[in-house]
Amino acid sequence: MKKVFIIDDEPDQVLLLSAALQKLGLSVFGTSKIDQALKEIETVKPNVVVTDLSLNPSEGPKSGLSFISEIKKINSSLRIIVLTGHATNEYGIEAIKRGAQSFIAKPANPEHLKVLIDDAYNNYELREELKNSKTKAPIPDKLKSEIEFAKTTDQAVLLTGETGTGKGFIARLIHNGRGPFVAYQPIIGSGELMYSELFGALKGSFTGALQDRIGLVAAANGGTLFLDEIGELPVTLQVTLLGVLQDKIYRPLGTNQEKQSHFRLISATNVELKDRINKGEFRPDLFHRINHLHIHVPPLRERPEEIIPLANYFLEKVCEKNNCSSIELSEGAIQALKVHAWPGNIRELEAVIERGVYKALFADSLLVDEEFLGLRERASEVRSFAEKVENYKLALIDEALKESNGNQVEAARLLQLDRSSMRRMLARKRLIG
């Protein structure tokens, strides 16, 4: 369960906020004393701390800023949400510079705060995973450089690639913990429901609106809004989103009152948006707004050199969770992983490894054998159609290399391939051969 620690110099506020968050399913601890808070944070080991900015009336906001610095020393992965009753965002921004993830004005709406806590918890888990894992998830060098560049700007980013290639993980890497990270994927439902999810709604503004809703655009203020599968967003909502991106202004459903939100947009899609534009299903002006930086995430079958490192990464991850660090992949399992076509990409690979580990644990085995993986393809079985196509491509490469006396640049020209595609196919050839 997510553990949240609350500190406010007013004990009644600690009790009220704790009760509200507990009703929303959180495990909450709290105090009104700074010294006690520092001791309990070390003992309780919460994932998220919610702190008032003025913890000592005589020092004002400086006391909260100093407190943030102290708890970051306890655990650098700890995520901090600041409650501020000050009229300007000046101190909230300074708190983020000190290491806080986000800030919210007092009195805090519990549901809005819950959204920020959920995001902070996810960010905490990501940071802990990267900090504690002996092996970081392999990322191709080209993607690494593109991600690092994207971190240095606030431009909108469009991530493209098949389902399961890790676009959500890359979005979080680009976000890099700067403010809240709020993710949304279009849902099946009425336009009003989807509008309220994104932009908020007043109680009674449409059928089913039983209470006021803040909206994810508001929750993303000062951070990142990640729109997954943006190609599925209805055209009517595309118009509203375009307005927010241009003017930073939107209106919750049921009111004419304008609200502001400043956020960075990262979008992802597994479809060709230009095809959607040609069909009138996606606005070209919105496409240009979201496509300032474009990062294509290739499918796993085009990154064969990553299959086994990724498999070992997921193996280590699941074994750490289940205290089974001695389990390894057998040679048969490694070969089965290499020849599989991976239509589900990295997501499928992670599921396969988890399944293999749990079956090995059940069988009291120290090896994840190929029979535990549950893959249809085996090294000893008849190759699939996809593999036959792959072999045909590799045979063409062999012919081109012979004709060009081993010159890869000339071979790529003969095959009308770019050099990066040629390198990926040669890597695949080395792994299978």
Domains 137-296 and 301-373 in one fold = no
To which residue do tokens 């534009």 refer? 277
What confidence score (pLDDT) does residue 429 get? 56
The three-state secondary structure class of 298 is coil
Q: Which amino acid, 354?
A: E
The structural domains of the chain, with segments of one domain joined by +, span: 3-111, 137-296, 301-373, 385-432
pLDDT, tens digit, for every residue of 342-351?
A: 999 999 999 9
Determine the average pLDDT of the residues in 175-195: 79
Mean pLDDT of the chain, nearest integer: 83
Residues in a beta bridge with 226: 183, 266
Answer CATH for 301-373 from 2.40.128.20, 1.10.20.10, 3.40.50.1400, 1.10.8.60: 1.10.8.60
pLDDT digits (tens, 9 = 90+) for 391-427: 667 777 777 788 888 887 787 777 766 665 666 666 6
CB-CB neighbours of 57 under 10 Å: 8
* C-alpha span between 286 and 148 (Å, rounded): 25
Question: Going by C-beta distance under 8 Å and a sequence separation of 6 or more, which residues neighbour residue 134?
Answer: 316
pLDDT top residue among 427 and 249: 249
Q: Is 222 exposed, middle or buried (0-12, 13-18, 19+ CB in 10 A)?
A: buried
Instruction: For the chain, give the percent of residues with pLDDT over 90.
Output: 30
One-letter amino acid for residue 152 of the chain: T
pLDDT score recorded for residue 381? 42
Question: Tell me, what's the pLDDT at 135?
Answer: 43
Q: Looking at residues 375-401, what average pLDDT do you find?
A: 61
User: Cβ contacts of residue 99 below 8 Å, gap of 6+?
Assistant: 68, 69, 72, 76, 80
Structure tokens, 338 = 């290499």
pLDDT digit string (tens) for 101-147?
888 878 888 888 888 888 888 777 766 655 554 446 678 888 989 99
pLDDT of residue 408: 79
pTM of the predicted model, to two decimals? 0.60
Q: Where do we find the tokens 């050839």?
A: 429
Judged by phi (left if over 0) then psi (alpha if -120 to 50, else beta), residue 285 lies in alpha
Mean pLDDT over 302-318 rounds to: 90
Spatial CA neighbour of 324 closest among 383, 364, 294? 364
CATH of range 137-296; options 3.10.180.10, 3.30.60.50, 3.30.365.10, 3.40.50.300: 3.40.50.300
> ∠ CA(361), CA(366), CA(371), 5° rounding?
70
Structural Rg of the chain based on CA atoms: 25
Closest CA to 187 of 233, 154, 142: 233
Residue found under tokens 């309780």: 44
pLDDT at residue 238 is higher than 80: yes
CATH ID of 3-111, from 3.40.50.2300, 3.40.50.150, 3.20.20.10, 1.10.3720.10: 3.40.50.2300
